[in-house]
């Protein structure tokens, strides 16, 4: 997906669905698209925005049984932040996730995380942001969590709420299905207000880890 304008085949490959599904969505107006002559075309940024909006409204089905948090996040990848700007918070969290052995090019990861959020905010409302990236230099999906002690007000969230909880996801380029599943999982899990409040009151990374991995 390097071009700005995509074909049905490229969108189907990106979303891991059939070309017929993409065609049906386009015909019904369910996915942002346009016709050039008789051929459907899709803008890459609009597809990215469409995916984010579906995640924020939990319209992707979360298959939580397949997301095992203990294998993708650990207490050493949970940090407390104290930055009022999105860029500083993202850079700090990207620096943390880059210490994971799955990350083979930390400079690329930091650069791509910042670039992505400049193009389109990853804040999904309720004080949550889920910055995410897929890169060929990442060997397996990994997550870092940031709990901000300060309101981050320049995230341009859908509901204009300042961001306090950041879940950063880095995945290998060929892990698209698991990547979307993990995004959806966190989007659904953090809809629980009690959990969000508890995370903001947590004192240690272990407290945050226990809250996130508690299945009760």
d(CA 69, CA 212) in angstroms, rounded, equals: 8
Q: Categorize the per-residue pLDDT at 3 as very low, low, confident or very high, splitting at 50, 70 and 90.
A: low
Tokens representing 6 are: 């995509």
pTM of the model: 0.71
d(CA 121, CA 46) in angstroms, rounded, equals: 13
Strand partners, 40: 35
Burial of 55 (0-12, 13-18, 19+ CB in 10 A): buried
Tell how far CA 142 is from the center of its chain. Answer: 12
Low-confidence winner among 2-11, 30-39, 109-118 (lowest mean pLDDT): 2-11
Query: What digits encode the pLDDT tens for the residues 130-184?
Result: 999 999 999 999 999 999 999 999 998 878 899 999 999 999 988 877 888 888 8
d(CA 23, CA 11) in angstroms, rounded, equals: 10
Q: Categorize the per-residue pLDDT at 202 as very low, low, confident or very high, splitting at 50, 70 and 90.
A: very high
Cβ atoms 103, 137 nearer than 8 A: yes
Does domain 64-213 correspond to CATH entry 3.40.930.10? yes
Q: Categorize the per-residue pLDDT at 128 as very low, low, confident or very high, splitting at 50, 70 and 90.
A: very high
Closest CA to 129 of 78, 72, 83, 169: 169
What average pLDDT does the chain have?
Answer: 87
């Amino acid at each position: 997906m390097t071009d700005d304008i995509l074909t049905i085949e490229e969108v189907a490959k990106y979303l891991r669905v059939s070309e017929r599904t993409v065609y049906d969505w386009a015909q019904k107006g369910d996915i942002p698209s346009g016709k050039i002559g008789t051929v459907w075309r899709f803008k890459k940024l609009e597809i990215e925005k469409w995916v984010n909006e579906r995640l924020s409204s939990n319209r992707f089905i979360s298959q939580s049984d397949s997301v095992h948090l203990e294998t993708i996040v650990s207490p050493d990848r949970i940090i407390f932040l104290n930055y009022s700007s999105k860029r500083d918070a993202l850079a700090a969290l990207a620096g943390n996730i880059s210490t994971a052995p799955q990350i083979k090019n930390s400079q690329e990861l930091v650069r791509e995380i910042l670039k992505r959020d400049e193009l389109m905010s990853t804040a999904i409302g309720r004080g949550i942001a889920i910055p995410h990236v897929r890169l060929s230099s990442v060997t397996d999906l990994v997550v870092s969590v940031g709990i901000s002690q300060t309101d981050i007000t320049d995230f341009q969230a859908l509901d204009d709420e300042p961001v306090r909880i950041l879940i950063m996801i880095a995945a290998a380029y060929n892990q698209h299905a698991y990547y979307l599943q993990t995004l959806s999982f966190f989007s659904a899990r953090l809809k629980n207000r009690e959990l969000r409040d508890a995370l903001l009151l947590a004192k240690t990374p272990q407290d945050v880890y226990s809250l996130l991995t508690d299945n009760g």
